Amino acid sequence: MATYPELIDIPFEHRHQCWFCGEPSHVSFTFPHSGYLVIACPHPTLIVPCCGECHTLARKAQVDDIWQARQSVKAGLIKRYRKDLAIGINWTQEELANSGFEGGNFEGFQRSAWFMHEVAKDRVNYKAWPLSYRGEDLEEVFVKDSFTFDGVTYPSVDDAILHYAQSFGIKVQVMKKALAITGIEAFADAVRFCRLLVGATPDEIKVALVGLASNIQIGEAYNDS
């Protein structure tokens, strides 16, 4: 493998942006770094500009390459700003504007909630520029498949499952079992189904999952006829 200097190319339009989330950058992140021993990093040491928050999250990532570190940062942002992201699940911008919170204890929430939701969503959805050195692309050796649902791009479908499970009090394993039946493409249906089972007993959940599978099989048989 060729040896590259640590300094990467930074496109002019991104020269003041965090590589992870697009916010203004004021520090830099080096990978690999001394805080975590990487035995088989597939690329040379790289430095990317970043904001302080993403730098903290990236330093905690115990991964093998910088692209996995990026996915770990995205997962950390989703966890940290779960409540802000959930605003878009429970409200629309118009509903917040017409919520009638003026003059009450929730007036501040009404003013800032949608803005905070948009900021959090933009940071999670931010697509980093491809890393290169002197015009030569550095191959992304390992990148987990991202998953986009309801306007938010999650590092993986597991991150989306965890976010919705925490937002609605759904058991993660129940949602995974529901998705195994409905398929990932029916993520919204699986969420609605699982919300009906919040507080259900294990036996009730088992019966409901059997019924879900039966209904889907009947629907498929009808469509094939």
For the stretch 188-220, pLDDT in tens is 999 999 999 999 999 999 999 999 998 887 666
pLDDT at 85 over 50: yes
Q: Which residue has the higher pLDDT, 131 or 5?
A: 131
Over the stretch 94-142, which tens digit does the pLDDT of each residue have? 776 666 555 554 556 666 788 888 999 999 999 988 888 767 777 655 4
Domain coordinates in residue numbering, the chain: 12-145, 169-225
Q: Which residue has the higher pLDDT, 58 or 138?
A: 58
Mean pLDDT check: name the lowest of 87-96, 114-123, 143-152.
87-96
Q: What is the mean pLDDT of the chain?
A: 84
pLDDT at 4 over 80: no
Distance of alpha carbon 42 from alpha carbon 185, whole angstroms: 33
Percent of the chain at pLDDT above 70? 82
Long-range Cβ pairs for the range 181-184 (8 Å, 24+): 181/209, 181/212, 181/213, 181/216, 182/212, 182/216, 184/147, 184/157
- Looking at the whole model, is its pTM more than 0.85? no
Q: Are 213 and 183 in contact (CB under 8 A)?
A: no
User: What's the sign of the alpha-carbon dihedral 62, 65, 66, 69?
Assistant: negative
pLDDT at 1 over 50: no
pLDDT at 221 over 90: no
The count of C-alpha atoms lying within 13 angstroms of the C-alpha of 162, restricted to the half-sphere facing its C-beta, is 15
Distance of alpha carbon 208 from alpha carbon 107, whole angstroms: 40
